[in-house]
Amino acid sequence: MTDLPALDELEHRLRDHLHARQEALVSDLETMVAIPSGQGHVPGMDRMRELMVGRLEALGATTEVFDGDPRPTWLLGASDAAPPPTAVCSRPREGAGPKILIAGHLDTVHDPEDTFISLTHEADGISRGPGAADMKGGLLVALAALEALDAEGVECHWTYLLNSDEETGTFCSERHLEDAARQHDVGLVIEPALPDGSLVVERMGSGQFMIEVDGLSAHVGREFERGISAVKTLAEVMSQILALADPANGKIVNIGPLKGGGATNAVPEHAACWGNMRFAHPEAQASLAAEVEAIEANFSTDELGRPLPEDHLPRVTIHRTFNRPAKPQTEGVTAVAMAARAVAEDLGGEMPFGKTGGVCDANVLQSVGLPCVDTLGIRGGNLHRRDEYVEIESLWERAALFAILMKRIAMGETDLDLG
């Protein structure tokens, strides 16, 4: 093994332990990737949860499984399926340093009926499989780190939270994430690293919305003037909503799926669209929320600002939720990130810092005050695609980084001020 003088004896043992386990870790990842847990596939998510919980309970953790909360019914893709549960596995240790919350999601975006269903290995050290990077590789990185710490007798106060709806917005598990965050001192989330290995220290926030318009149907040839086109009004509202985009000031607005009408010779009586907003900071979020509210009011009040009758047509309703606040680089985040970078450098590598417009569960955790970093998982890329890949050697490498970071946090060997 390469000489790494910056590591102490225990850290050397943790690194060597995980390097020696690489073959077993690859086998574990093959098993995980072969379990289909995408697109709400309940049997696969149950199997993944059982696998993870079994390994964590073997380390002495106790598990609570919490029922999920229902998603808003207007969300794109909402269904009558039961909300997926959240498992919280805890192994508290008094006097073992700060309380560390590890968070990961069991769900992927991949179709369980697709032919892209297993982990395949290529000659250049790349392995491809559904969810291999996002985030079954991350789940395994943290699990292997905890097992190595346990084998070396390192006492840490940790909780491992496993939810099943991150890829669909974390609506079902949001409350449980917030509750767990309030009970811990630092958060380590195992989303995959950026392609160059960078650690994300800042994320935009995200909001979902649906614009719904009710009009009045009429025959186009016989009674066109009698009709009130929901599509025409929807187009007007959409143009105003899209005009709110101001990327230079941290505001992004996008509208995707649309629906309206059923025939070309009938004035459409209903139309709807769904969209997404991104915001770089709380001020941008507040601005977007106020602007959307004002647009809705323009279609639901008269020239004097008085509410129109409920039966007035066209009727415009804008459903919205901003459930993933922006995740800025706070002093606490910087401190955790610098601690992770120090470990990476002591292991002979680098850890640049990056920003992204993507969101994850760390947005929710940090919104209630928990400082956390969220790309401590495996190195990989092409997320959510049928050629998603991981750098297979990064399994043990990132597990070693994770284990040593936890060891240093637990033993007070970082500059974190966690109160």
* CATH code of the domain containing 150: 3.40.630.10
Residue 298 and residue 191 share a domain: no
Q: Closest by alpha carbon to 4, among 377, 334, 401, 373?
A: 401
Instruction: Tell me the average pLDDT across 379-403.
Output: 97
Q: Closest by alpha carbon to 191, among 170, 212, 216?
A: 170
Instruction: Tell me the average pLDDT across 370-396.
Output: 97
At which of 268, 296, 324 does a domain end? Answer: 324
Dihedral angle, C-alpha 237, 240, 241, 243, nearest 10 °:
160
Instruction: Tell me the average pLDDT across 25-39.
Output: 97
**pLDDT-based confidence at 73, cuts 50/70/90?**
very high
Q: What is the pLDDT of residue 80?
A: 80
> pTM for this one?
0.95
- How many CB atoms sit inside 10 A of residue 133's CB? 29
Q: Report the CATH number that the domain containing residue 210 is assigned in CATH.
A: 3.30.70.360
The partner residues of 274 in beta bridges, in order of sequence, read 210
- How many CB atoms sit inside 10 A of residue 82's CB? 12
> In 129-204, which ranges are E strands?
157-163, 186-189, 199-203
Q: What is the pLDDT of residue 1?
A: 54
Q: Which domain holds residue 293?
A: 205-324
Residue 291 and residue 226 share a domain: yes
CA 268, CA 229: separation in Å to the nearest integer? 5
At residue 196, does pLDDT exceed 70? yes
Q: What is the pLDDT of residue 2?
A: 65
The partner residues of 206 in beta bridges, in order of sequence, read 278, 324
Measure Cα distances from 324 to 113, 199, 328, 359, 368 in Å.
30, 19, 12, 7, 11
Residue 418: exposed, middle, or buried by beta-carbon count in 10 A (0-12, 13-18, 19+)? middle
Q: Is 355 helix (H, G, I), strand (E, B) or coil?
A: strand
At residue 418, does pLDDT exceed 80? no
Residue 113 and residue 91 share a domain: yes
Q: How many domains does the chain have?
A: 2
Let me know if residue 1 belongs to a domain.
no
Residue 269 and residue 214 share a domain: yes
CA 35, CA 46: separation in Å to the nearest integer? 10
CA 166, CA 40: separation in Å to the nearest integer? 11
Residue 212 and residue 80 share a domain: no
Q: Is the dihedral of CA 180, 182, 183, 187 positive or negative?
A: positive
Residue 134 and residue 23 share a domain: yes
At residue 419, does pLDDT exceed 70? no
Mean pLDDT estimate for the chain: 96
Instruction: Tell me the average pLDDT across 121-137.
Output: 97
The per-residue pLDDT for range 301-319, each reduced to its tens digit, is 888 888 888 889 999 999 9
The per-residue pLDDT for range 156-179, each reduced to its tens digit, is 999 999 999 999 999 999 999 999
DSSP 56-82: HHTTT-EEEEEPPPPPPTTSTT--SSP
At residue 374, does pLDDT exceed 60? yes
At which of 309, 324, 339 does a domain end? Answer: 324
Considering only the C-alpha atoms of the chain, give the largest distance between any 2 of them, rounded to a whole number of Å.
87
Residue 285 and residue 405 share a domain: no
CA 312, CA 187: separation in Å to the nearest integer? 50
Percent of the chain scored above 70 by pLDDT? 99
Let me know if residue 4 belongs to a domain.
no
Non-local (6+) Cβ contacts of 58 within 8 A are none
At which of 324, 348, 372 does a domain end? Answer: 324
- How many CB atoms sit inside 10 A of residue 118's CB? 12
